[in-house]
A and B are shown apart, each in its own frame.
Chain A
Amino acid sequence: MISPRQRALVEFVLDNLVWFILAIVLVIFSATIPNFFQTGIFVNIIEQSTFVGVMAIGLAIVVIAGHMDLSVESVAGLTAMITGILFCARGIGMGITLTPEWLVLPVSLIIALLAGSVIGGINGWLVVRLRMNAFIVTLASYIYVRGMVDAISGGRSAQDLAPALRFIGIQTLAGIPLIAWIAVLCFAIFTFIMARTPFGRHVTMIGGNPVAAFRAGIKVDRLVLIAFILAGAIAGLAGWLLAIRTSGATANLGIGMLFRAFAAVVIGGVSLKGGIGQLPGVYAGVLLLSSIQTAMNVMALPVHYTQMILGGMVLAAVLLDTVKLQIRQKLA
């Protein structure tokens, strides 16, 4: 038998396991990799977590709701390209300017969010109304949305983003880039929404047991639809940030991020069966992946190692999840 205090401690460790792993990994990297332990590297880790991190928020919400969204990467690519085409001055950019100049910021953001919401809404509608499988629906979106990127860009790129937008990609606040703050803010807002509002609690309940949630009077279809729209909008935000970071857009921008977002979601402790998961854990998962990527870059190791480590970590995360479940059952 363990005391209540010990039990609370074990629960705390289990709930925040990925943060402990992140801390251990950072300590090991700092101690063993030359040039790793410096402020600039930690800032880079936070900054580079931005895009996959933001994308992972929407993905995690849909997964917690018991579904799947494979389209987030392509949606981000689409909104990056739309932002690029409208507000870049070179390449295929139309170089649209607004007066006052700062207006470009909210206008481009709204366009990106709307474009993402539309794709998310189509996904959600097909899943909720037509009862189509979310995996298939979003797989189709993953393909056709990337096709849209290719079609609207003609394979060409847009560069030289409006200075008012580039400002966000260049400026820092307390030594951390503004785009990274946006990601942190998103995690804070959605952590609050998922943990403290009826919407978040209901989405989690739906993911755990949709029938029970329905019988409890929760509007399951409506909330699932909202979850998909949110995932699309948040992916739209990720694309907007990507365009800002790279000062434009290419047709293949964002490719490969879906799997990193998925890895972060799983490593962060979100159950692919739905109903379980917290967004801070997802952020820790993203930071962990970004730390490994940065370590590889600093060591100039072949990128294949990153892929192997990434795959290994996803497996380890699933194993850990099983172990956590068993420990919790023993504690109960």
Chain B
Amino acid sequence: MKRLLSALLGALAIAAIAFTSPAFAESKGKIYYMVPTLLDEFQTESVKAIEKFLADVGYEAVTLNADNKTDIQQSQMNDVINLKPKAIILAAVDFNALVPSMEKARAAGIPVMIFDRQITSSPSDFTSVAGTVEIGYVAAGEIQRLLKEKKGDVKGKILQVLGDPADPYTLDIQKGFEEKMKEFSGVEIISLPAMQWEASNAGTIVADQLVANPDIDLIFVHAAHLAVAAVASLEAKGKKPGDVMLVSSNGAPVGLDLIRKGWENVEVEQPLYAQAAAIAMFADKVVNKQEMKPGTYSVLGLDSTLTIESWGPNLKIPGAAITKDNIDEPRFWGNMKAPTDPVKPVE
């Protein structure tokens, strides 16, 4: 009995401390972050960044992982709607399938912010993206430069290794990339998907293509972790750094390592920290349903453009091309040096 009583008193004391602590007193409420998966480094780091930046502006972030399954994310959305949070941050597993859930949340008065994976088919309250199609554009620009430097003209054979063919993210990058490359008739692009974004599938594709098309000049993979397997296949075929040019996207630490070791030429980064910071900077406006003014905003030093689109306020943050010349800049999330200065809400 004595033990039970002291346990109860202890629990009460802990609760009292928790409820009267400054952090709890200052919290503006909970915002749920619906992360599509935690099986890649971009998403894992996005959780940390969003939780940190939202805390800077007074919100408590709660993360739910959908494990890359659309149905799970739909269920999570339904559950969260019942909890009536201040807002939901959605990085959709499937751009289209989550639209009804998003509409349901907004109909219940819960603002929805779109993070990283753009949804344009239905209105949302705020979008923070680098633009997946734009990543393809940046990659195309860099690849044109690399081919010109090596061959004197934009020509040659490119192996493009996509991610899972059912993921609109990779299809958008492909769309942007091929759109910018189609004007160069001397460029042949061979595109193959690595099922389920699994690295050994990418390695297999590269190994096969190096035999079938030994004249491949450049390999473009849609995620840095696939680049690691691509390099392993190049190495197994006796290639040395620089023999076949390599470009990757998303800016993960593994991609930066490959640049440092000379295997990779360019990593097109998604500005993860800035995308997450922007969510926090505009959180008050979204939660309080205040008007947002179009224009240029500085997000962690990056000039980002806010436009009012048919689907709502859309902040586009420029993606960057990482090369050996700028690789050590701390703004690249692949260096894993998250900004420590607190972000401030926009006026």
Which A residues form the contact surface with B (CB < 8 A)?
Answer: 35-36, 38, 40-41, 44, 47-48, 51, 90-91, 150, 154-157, 159-160, 166, 169-170, 177, 242, 245-248, 250-256, 293-294, 297-298, 300, 302-304
Contacts and interface: CB of A to CB of B under 8 A. Distances in A.
B294 to A, nearest CB: 35
A246 B232 contact: yes
Nearest to A179: B236
21 contacts: A35-B212, A47-B207, A156-B41, A160-B257, A170-B235, A246-B199, A246-B229, A247-B232, A248-B228, A250-B40, A250-B228, A251-B38, A252-B39, A253-B200, A256-B196, A294-B208, A297-B192, A297-B208, A297-B209, A302-B165, A303-B193
A150 B197 contact: no
Contacts of B232: 169, 245-247
Contact of A300 (B38, B190, B204): B190
Which 9 pairs show the lowest CB-CB distances between chains A and B?
Answer: A155-B44, A40-B211, A297-B208, A155-B38, A35-B212, A251-B39, A298-B212, A247-B232, A252-B39
B258 to A, nearest CB: 8
A288 B191 CA distance: 23
**Most A CB within 10 A of own CB, among B191, B208, B225:** B208
A155 B43 contact: yes
A177 B229 CA distance: 16
Interface in B191-250: 191-193, 195-201, 203-205, 207-213, 225, 228-229, 231-232, 235-236
Contacts of B231: 247
Interface string B171-193: 00000000000000000001111
A298 B208 contact: yes
Contacts of B213: 35
B253 interface: yes
Interface of B: 38-41, 43-44, 165, 190-193, 195-201, 203-205, 207-213, 225, 228-229, 231-232, 235-236, 252-254, 257
Nearest to B236: A170
Contacts of B39: 150, 155, 250-252
A166 B236 CA distance: 9
B14 to A, nearest CB: 26
A253 B165 contact: no
Nearest to B238: A170
Contacts of B40: 155, 250-252
A40 B228 CA distance: 21
Contacts of A245: 200, 203, 229, 232
A255 B211 contact: no
Chain B contact residues: helix, strand, loop or mixed: helix
A256 B193 CA distance: 14
Contact of A51 (B43, B200, B253): B200
Nearest to B208: A297
Given A159-B228, A300-B191, A303-B193, A154 B203 contact: no
Nearest to B232: A247
Contacts, number: 117
Given A252-B40, A254-B198, A256-B201, 18 more contacts: A40-B210, A51-B200, A91-B257, A155-B44, A156-B44, A157-B41, A159-B257, A166-B235, A169-B232, A245-B200, A246-B229, A247-B235, A248-B254, A250-B225, A297-B212, A298-B212, A302-B165, A303-B165
B208 A303 contact: no
Contacts of B252: 157
**Most B CB within 10 A of own CB, among A90, A91, A157, A177:** A157
A87 to B, nearest CB: 15
A325 to B, nearest CB: 33
A157 B207 contact: no
A246 B204 contact: no
Contact of A250 (B199, B209, B235): B199
A159 to B, nearest CB: 5
Contacts of A177: 236
**Most B CB within 10 A of own CB, among A51, A156, A304:** A156
A41 B198 contact: no
B312 to A, nearest CB: 30
A75 to B, nearest CB: 16
A41 B200 contact: no
B196 A155 contact: no
Nearest to B164: A303
A90 B207 contact: no
A147 B241 CA distance: 35
A48 B198 CA distance: 14
Contacts of A48: 204, 207
